[in-house]
């Protein structure tokens, strides 16, 4: 099966998990172009990264959480696929109350999650576009 190489942004506060995701996805042929360990991601970084899919943790150090970052991304790129990877079980409920997420290509995987599940979810989300 020939699948497209994806440009990926990862926002994850645990460095070992961030590196694990990057190494796994790179090994699968994806291009992890941008990584952040906190929520202080600005519009400039989002614009310049030009990623195709965003993997975002919910709880992050800094001034923003994962939902704040996702809202920034969707304001700039309304059709951007966003995959939350989090231990926060109520995230589905929280984002369902925020209008910008309605009808968007957004999914939530709860930690702990298998790496293959992350990649298969990413590829599935890209096939929706």
Residue 43 scores a pLDDT above 90: no
Residue 58 maps to a domain:
yes
Domain of 41?
Answer: 7-128
User: Looking at residue 90, which CATH number applies to its domain?
Assistant: 3.40.50.2300
The DSSP output letter for 65 is -
Q: How many domains does the chain have?
A: 1
Backbone angles phi, psi at 127, to 5 degrees: -70, -15
pLDDT digits over 60-85, tens only?
999 899 999 999 999 999 999 999 99
Residue 18 maps to a domain:
yes
* Alpha carbon distance 127, 12 (integer Å): 24
In whole numbers, what is the pLDDT of the chain averaged over residues? Answer: 94
User: Can you give the pTM of this predicted structure?
Assistant: 0.95
């Amino acid at each position: 099966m020939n699948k497209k190489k994806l440009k990926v942004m990862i926002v994850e506060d645990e460095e070992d998990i961030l590196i694990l995701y990057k190494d796994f996805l790179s090994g699968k042929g994806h291009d992890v172009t941008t990584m952040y360990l906190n929520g202080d991601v600005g519009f400039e970084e989002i614009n310049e990264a030009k990623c195709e899919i965003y993997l975002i943790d919910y709880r992050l150090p800094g001034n923003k959480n994962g939902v704040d970052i996702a809202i920034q991304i969707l304001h700039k790129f309304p059709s951007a696929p966003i995959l939350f990877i989090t231990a926060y079980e109520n995230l589905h409920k929280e984002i369902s109350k925020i209008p910008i997420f309605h009808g968007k290509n957004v999914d939530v995987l709860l930690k702990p999650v298998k790496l293959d599940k992350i990649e298969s979810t990413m590829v599935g989300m890209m096939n929706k576009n």
